[in-house]
Amino acid sequence: MTSFPFASYIVAAAFAVAAITMIAGALIAVLSKRIIRGVGGLMICCIGLAGLYYFLQSPFLALMEILIYVGAVCVTIVFGVMLSEPDEPKPTDRVADLFGAIPIRSGRFGLWGAAAAFLVCTLIGIGIARLSLGGPWPVAPARVSDGSVAAIGIALLTTYSLAFELISLVLLLAILGALVIARSGRTKPPSTAHDQLGILAAQVTAPAPPSDTHPLVSTTAGHEPETAPR
Amino acid sequence: MTFLNLEPIRILLYVVAICAFVGLNAAYLVLAERKIAGRVQRRPGPNEAGWGGLMQPFADVGKLLAKQILVPAGTDTLLYRMAPLMVMAPPMLCLMAVPYAEHFVARDLNLGLLFVFSFGSINVMALMLGGWASRNKYSIISSARVVSQNVAYEIPMLLVVITLLMITGTMSLQEITVQQAGGFWHWNVFRVWVNPLMPVTFIIFFICMLAETNRAPFDMAEAESELVAGVFTEYGGMGFGVFFMAEYSNIVVGCCLATVLFFGGWQSPIGILSGGAWGLVWFMLKTYALITTVMWVRWTFPRTQFYLLLNLSWKILIPISLFTLLLTGAMLKLPLLWKALF
């Protein structure tokens, strides 16, 4: 790279592209009123962040950022939005447009709320700035491991094993919660004892799926949805 | 020549070459698809333009380029225009990491496999945004389908790839290829002494690839018999064309990956005619054989129903791939345990 003319400028430009992408994505995510555009901004922000990770010599982290945050988290958010509400933005006045997402029209808190939020943000910003500028940096930023699969696996199962196990516990709980939520609406609660008996009888005497059908079909023959395309 | 060997110039040349390859390849894969469809359905297919239809892609591209780009009223204009862009960029990036021959790779990343998967995962987001921005009920149904389908099939695909990763121990695509040297019995797909289920693993990978690239029999995103054209309903002209180019590029990426992971990449199957440009020849032969299989599958099987598609993933593919993962781990590590104990 050193022999190439303007190499350092190219590297600086690439860094600038990553940083600007991240900041622009974050601004879009915060300022846009359509929630889907906000998620799009979040996605752009994550891609920029991945670029910054790459500059910090962590290609594995950069790629995981894209795989998980863009490929999974953003997709999940959009999916949730799609299933929940239409995102037609409500008509707002000019002042609110100027200030983006700040809800100036709301009567009781109005500008005071915005001012308080600004104050809190400023305090947090000053605190973080003081910490990062004044506090000691004990370890110089350096490459910890070679980023290979083996190194990451060893780190996950030795140094960070507690965090690893906690994350797996959280994920397990999430799966169980999803199962509970999904199962709760599936079977109609029987209203009377008679109905309950009837359902039980139907379950006991339900005919086995015909054996001459395709194996894929037979696995689902029990609970075919009513709206299945014929 | 020293100027061309400089890293930035080399990368730039590769980018230009990949752009040209993606365009031409998509155009001619459309022709191949139509020819194969004709063959399967006992009709000639396109045979008027050029020699036996060879100029048909240029006629198609000319038609698409000449069309006005129309943004229908009521759409989310920005996202509507962004979606084709976002769907096109990731497969091109993925092609940068694929080793086509021994010394013919744009950037030999030591995390190449992860690179391809992470950028491949943007595809679903782009399709979904396109469908959402169209503000059309068919498009929105279709984008909901795209998401649930891709989420469902990403899991067995990643499980299969992790199985493979346990065997190879590296994420560098070049290194995985080098490990499979010395004849077709060393290819990962035939390594039954490491794991007797390796061929099954490949079949799971192939099915997931079909589903991830939205190809028939899993083309729920398009499903023209029920959803007009699914996500692409409101797109016309080159917007539609770009979506198609992206679909074919994704197929190429998937088949390249299958070639590298399971069929020895640029390695010769019989040990002779290897090295140098022969590597490229073998790689392309294997990849295009797989692509032809993808098309053959499309025109052979009818489209499945949506809930059958999801059941196939959640009830069949994921349990099998989990079992393969466990079996591989056991077969790799149990001998060590045996040695340590006795």
First to last CA, chain B: 60
Confidence category of residue A203, pLDDT binned at 50, 70, 90: low
Residue A74 is nearest to which of B78, B119, B125, comparing CB atoms?
B125
Return the amino acid letter for B77. T
Residues A37 and A66 in one domain: yes
Which residues on A lie below 8 Å from B305 (Cβ)?
Answer: 228-229
The pLDDT-based confidence of B211 (bands split at 50, 70, 90) is: confident
Most A-contacting residue of B76, B94, B122 (CB-CB within 10 A), to test interface: B122
Residue B107's pLDDT is: 77
Q: In this complex, do A70 and B125 lie within 8 Å of one another by their Cβ atoms?
A: yes
Chain A residue numbers touching B147 (CB-CB < 8 A): 75, 78-79
Q: Does residue A149 belong to any structural domain of this protein?
A: yes
Q: Are residues A160 and A183 in the same domain?
A: yes
Q: Residues B292-308: what's their mean pLDDT? A: 86
Q: For all residues of chain A together, what is the average pLDDT?
A: 73
Residue B115 touches partner A, C-beta closer than 8 Å: yes
Min Cα distance B313 → chain A (Å) is 11
List residues of chain A with CB under 8 Å from any CB of chain B. 1, 3-4, 7, 10, 34, 36-37, 40, 43, 59-60, 63-64, 66-67, 70-72, 74-75, 78-79, 82-83, 147-150, 216-217, 219-220, 224-225, 228-229
Given pLDDT bands bounded at 50, 70 and 90, which one contains residue B309?
confident
> Are A68 and A29 in the same domain?
yes
Residue A140 pLDDT grade (very low, low, confident, very high; cuts 50, 70, 90): low
pLDDT at A205 (0 to 100): 53
If you measure CA to CA, which chain A residue comes closest to B6?
A4
Who has greater pLDDT, A178 or A92? Answer: A178
Q: Among residues of chain A, what percentage have pLDDT more than 90?
A: 12
Q: Please give the pLDDT value at position A230.
A: 39
Cα dist from B12 to A52, B6, B17, B18, whole Å: 21, 10, 9, 10
How many Å apart are CA B129 and CA B91, to the nearest integer? 17
Sign of CA dihedral B98, B103, B107, B109: positive
pTM for this one?
A: 0.77
pLDDT recorded at residue B146: 83
Chain A residues in contact with B8 (beta carbon < 8 A): 1, 4, 7, 10
Q: Which residue of A has its CA nearest to B79?
A: A37
Residue A206 belongs to a domain: no
**B285/B179 Cα distance (integer angstroms):** 20
Contact residues, B window 237-296, toward A, CB-based 8 Å cutoff: none
Q: What residue of A is the nearest CA neighbor of B127?
A: A75
Q: How far A113 CA sits from the closest chain B CA (Å)?
A: 31
- Does some domain include residue A202? no
The one-character DSSP state at B230 is: G
Please, which pLDDT band fits residue A172 given cuts at 50, 70 and 90?
A: very high
Residue A32 shares a structural domain with residue A52:
yes
For residues B140-153, b (16+ Cβ closer than 10 Å) or e, as one string? bbbbbbbbebbbbb
Assess whether A127 and A164 both reside in one domain. no
Looking at beta carbons, which pairs linking A84-90 to residues 24 or more positions away fall under 8 Å? A87/A34, A87/A35, A87/A36, A89/A33, A89/A34
Residue A83 within a domain? yes
Query: pLDDT at position B178, please?
Result: 82
What does the pLDDT look like over A11-41, one tens digit per residue? 888 889 999 999 998 888 888 777 778 888 8
Dist. CA B132–CA B138, nearest whole Å: 10
CB contact under 8 A, B79 and A36: yes
**Nearest neighbour of A225 by CB, restricted to B122, B144, B307:** B307
Of residues B326 and B277, which shows the higher confidence score?
A: B326
Residue A154 structural domain: 144-187
Looking at the structure of chain A, the number of domains it has is 3
Let me know whether A74 and A130 are in one domain. Answer: no
Q: What value of ipTM does the predicted structure carry? A: 0.77
Distance separating alpha carbons of residues A74 and B197, to the nearest angstrom: 34
CB contacts < 8 A (A, B) = 102
DSSP B161: H
Contacts of B111 in chain A (CB under 8 A): 59-60, 63, 147
Q: Report the pLDDT value the prediction gives residue A139, as an integer from 0 to 100.
A: 66
Higher pLDDT, B194 or A189: B194
Task: Tell me the residues of chain B between 171 and 190 that have a Cβ less than 8 Å away from chain A.
Answer: 171
Beta-ladder partners of B101: B104
The answer, yes or no, to whether residue B131 has pLDDT greater than 90, is no
Residue A228 has pLDDT above 60, yes or no: no
Model pLDDT for residues A146-159, shown as the tens digit of each residue: 666 677 788 888 88
pLDDT digits (tens, 9 = 90+) for B17-38: 888 888 888 888 888 888 888 8
Residue-wise pLDDT for B220-234, tens only, equals 777 777 777 777 777
CATH number assigned to the domain comprising residue A53: 1.20.120.1200
- Whether the bond between B217 and the residue before it is cis, its omega within 30 degrees of 0, is yes
Which residue from B minimizes the CA distance to A64?
A: B118
Is A6 among the domain residues? no
Predicted confidence at residue A109, as pLDDT, reads 60
Distance CA B214, CA B205 (A): 14
Residues B316, A225: C-beta atoms closer than 8 Å: no
Q: Please check the confidence at residue B278 and state whether its pLDDT lies above 50.
A: yes
Structure tokens at B149: 């389908």
Q: What is residue B285's predicted lDDT score, i.e. its pLDDT?
A: 87
**What residue has token string 């299945």?**
A228
Indicate whether A199 belongs to any domain: no
Within a domain: A125: yes
pLDDT score for A224: 42
pLDDT tens figures, B158-175: 899 988 888 888 888 888
Residue A73: its pLDDT value, please? 85
- Residue A180 forms part of a structural domain: yes
Q: What tens digit of pLDDT does each residue of B84-120 get? A: 888 888 888 888 888 887 777 777 777 888 888 888 8
| pLDDT for res B172 | 83
Q: State pLDDT tens for residues A66-122.
A: 888 888 888 888 877 777 765 555 555 444 444 444 455 555 566 777 888 889 999
